[in-house]
Amino acid sequence: MKLIIDDADVKAIRRIWDYYPCAGVTTNPSILAKSGRPPFEVLREIRAIIGPDAQLHAQVIAREADGMVKDAERIVRELGDNTYVKVPSLPEGFKAMKALHAKGIKITATAIYTPMQGYLAGMCGAQYAAPYVNRIDNMGYDGIKVACEIHEIYKKNDIPCEVLAASFKNSQQVLELCKYGIGAATVACSVIDNFVKNAAIDEAVEAFIHDFEGLTAKGTTMSSC
């Protein structure tokens, strides 16, 4: 399962990118709005941080298919070939996905709440489909189950699309999908930080350092002893 950052906070993205094995960054209009900066200015800065070979996902805004295609073409023109255009999974979006697939533009189908949306997006040529795990949970359904069902639909129907699960509130949700082996999960920087935020881990490392310095001298490491 690929790990992707879901954020538009450039400082946070840079920090997470330095430390963790991430495959790219996803954004959405609401995340970009929080930056308070022009959208393409932020997206170009993210592209500069992650480089040309990493995935960058950015969303169309137009309501109708023709406008979505124009938005997509601008997004790819600004941000490079390894950019995935996020298109909402509704009728106009499916129409746009078919047109974008014919043009060879990479697609991430977004705003997915049901397996049937995922199926249609895959059949329209999307490379990724993004079910909103925690939002589905908040509606009284099982977001993990929906993501896994979409994954199984793709496998059993030989649809060349992967699940890109989104909308997480905790690391346990991410872990469940990791164990299942879905294609990717896009996770906020704050949740990624919590993957290894554990007092027991910190205490164990500090104990090792304390014991080693007791053997040698304070501030000594393996390279200096």
Supply the residues annotated as catalytic. Answer: 86
Rounded CA gap, 121 and 22, in Å?
A: 25
- Residue for token pair 């840079």: 14
Question: String of b and e for 97-126 (b: at least 16 CB within 10 Å)?
Answer: bebbeeeebbbbbbbbbebebbbbbbebbb
Q: Which pair of tokens denotes residue 59? A: 């969303």
The answer to whether residues 115 and 141 touch, using CB atoms and an 8 Å cutoff, is no
Q: Which two tokens stand for residue 106?
A: 């990479």
Dihedral sign, Cα of residue 147, residue 136, residue 145, residue 6: positive
Could you give the angle at which helices 39-50 and 65-79 cross, rounded to 10 degrees?
Answer: 50
